[in-house]
Structure 1
Amino acid sequence: MSNVINFRLARKARDRADKAQAAGSNRAKFGRTKAQKLADEKEECRKASLLDGARLERKEESGDDS
């Protein structure tokens, strides 16, 4: 004799599994922790300050010959 299946429960279980799979792929695609975002921001600031510190200043040429 076969088992009786409640279609409502089977449908809900299938939907939960689909949502869990979609959530996992979204976490992999978009998810970054606050610490990772902060570390990237600090790294960008460090790079910008390093670049600004190495910049050579030029005298502005005003066009006056005297």
Structure 2
Amino acid sequence: MGDVVNLNRFRKQRRRDEREKQASENRIRFGTPKSETTRQRLEQDRQTRDLDGKKRED
């Protein structure tokens, strides 16, 4: 005869694993805060302006 197994424990663990997987995907998708996104956009704009200012006219 085998050991007694509590199926609720396995169901709860499976739900925890699914939630953790979803949370991981969400961290990747929505992970950057607004301040970081704004900072990156401002930095890119600054670099673009800097390069445009150094262009030579033919």
TM-score higher than 0.5: yes
Cα deviation digits, residues 5-58 of structure 1 (max 9, x gap): 462xx313430332123312x21x332111111111011100110011111123
Alignment gaps of 5+ in structure 2: none
Q: Does 1:41 align with 2:41?
A: yes
Counterpart Cα distance in 2 of 1:32 and 1:16: 24
- Give the Cα separation in 2 of the matches to 1:12 and 1:50: 56
Greater helix fraction, Structure 1 or Structure 2: 2
* Residue number in structure 2 paired with 1:23: 23
Cα-Cα RMSD: 2.4
Does the C-alpha gap of structure 1 residues 4 and 56 become closer, same or farther in structure 2, counting only changes over 3 Å? closer
What SS class does the counterpart of residue 57 from structure 1 fall into?
coil
The TM-score, its normalising length taken from structure 2, stands at 0.63
Q: TM-score, normalised by structure 1?
A: 0.58
Q: Which has the larger radius of gyration?
A: 1
Give the aligned length: 53
Matched, 1:55 2:55: yes
